[in-house]
Amino acid sequence: MNRRDFFKKAITSGIAAGSFLAFPKANRFWSTPSNASSLPYDLVAVRGGEPDTMFDAAINALGGIGTFVPRGSRVLVKPNIGWDVPPERAGNTHPALVGAIIAQCLDAGASKVSVFDHTCDNWRRCYKNSGIDAAVKKAGGEMISGDSQGYYKTVTVPSGLRLKEAEVHQALLDADVFINVPILKHHSSTMLTIGMKNLMGVVWDRWFWHRNDLHQCIADFSSFRKPDLTVVDAYNVMKRNGPRGVGVNDVVSMKAQVVSRDPVAADAAATKLFGMEPGDIRHIKIASQMNLGQMNLKHLAINRIKL
Question: What value does the mean pLDDT of the chain take?
Answer: 90
Q: Is residue 88 part of a domain?
A: yes
Residue 300 has pLDDT above 70, yes or no: yes
Mean of pLDDT values over 24-40: 42
- Closest Cα to residue 90, out of 211, 225, 252, 216? 252
Q: What is the pLDDT of residue 21?
A: 52
Find out whether 200 and 209 touch, Cβ atoms under 8 Å: yes
pLDDT in tens, 116-165: 999 999 999 999 999 999 999 999 999 999 999 999 999 999 999 999 99
In this predicted structure, the answer to whether residue 16 has a pLDDT above a threshold of 60 is no
What integer pLDDT is reported at residue 12 of this predicted model? 36
What pLDDT is attached to residue 13? 34
pLDDT at 222 over 60: yes
Residue 140 maps to a domain:
yes
> Does residue 298 have a pLDDT over 60?
yes
**Which amino acid belongs to residue 256?**
A
3-state helix, strand, coil in the chain (%, to 5): 40, 20, 40
Beta bridge partner(s), residue 167: 154
Model confidence at 169: pLDDT above 50: yes
Examine the pLDDT at 33 and tell me if it is beyond 90: no
Q: Is residue 51 part of a domain?
A: no
Reported in sequence order, the residue ranges of 152-274 that DSSP labels E, i.e. its strands, are 152-156, 165-169, 177-181, 183-187, 191-193, 229-238, 251-260
Domain assignment present for residue 7? The answer is no
In a domain, 182, yes or no: yes
The domain of 103 spans 65-297
- Confirm whether 19 is domain-assigned: no
Structural contact between residues 166 and 205, judged by C-beta atoms closer than 8 angstroms? yes
pLDDT (mean) for 218-235: 98
**pLDDT at residue 39 in the model:** 85
Q: Tell which wins on pLDDT, 32 or 272.
A: 272
Q: How many domains does the chain have?
A: 1
In terms of Cα–Cα distance, which of 108, 233, 82 is closest to 176? 108
CA distances (Å), 88 to each of 85, 97, 251, 297, in order? 8, 14, 8, 30
- Determine the average pLDDT of the residues in 239-258: 95
CA 280/CA 194 separation, integer angstroms = 14
More confident residue, 17 or 109: 109
pLDDT value at 9 more than 90? no
The residue with greater pLDDT, 263 or 25, is 263
Question: Is residue 28 one of the residues assigned to a domain?
Answer: no
What CATH number is attached to the domain comprising 177?
3.40.50.11440
Helix, coil or strand: residue 88: helix
Note whether 232 and 210 are within 8 A (CB): no
Specify the pLDDT at position 8. 40
Task: Please tell me whether the overall predicted TM-score, pTM, comes out greater than 0.95 for this model.
Answer: no
pLDDT, average across residues 263-281: 97
Does residue 271 carry a pLDDT above 70? yes
* Contact between residue 264 and residue 295 where contact means Cβ atoms under 8 Å apart: yes
Tell whether the model's pLDDT for residue 109 goes beyond 60.
yes
Q: Given a cut of 70, is residue 20 above it in pLDDT? A: no
Residue 207 included in any domain:
yes
To the nearest whole percent, how much of the chain has pLDDT over 90?
87
* Residue 215 in this model has a pLDDT that exceeds 90: yes
Q: Find the mean pLDDT for residues 158-182.
A: 97
- State the Rg of the chain over Cα: 18
> What confidence score (pLDDT) does residue 32 get?
33
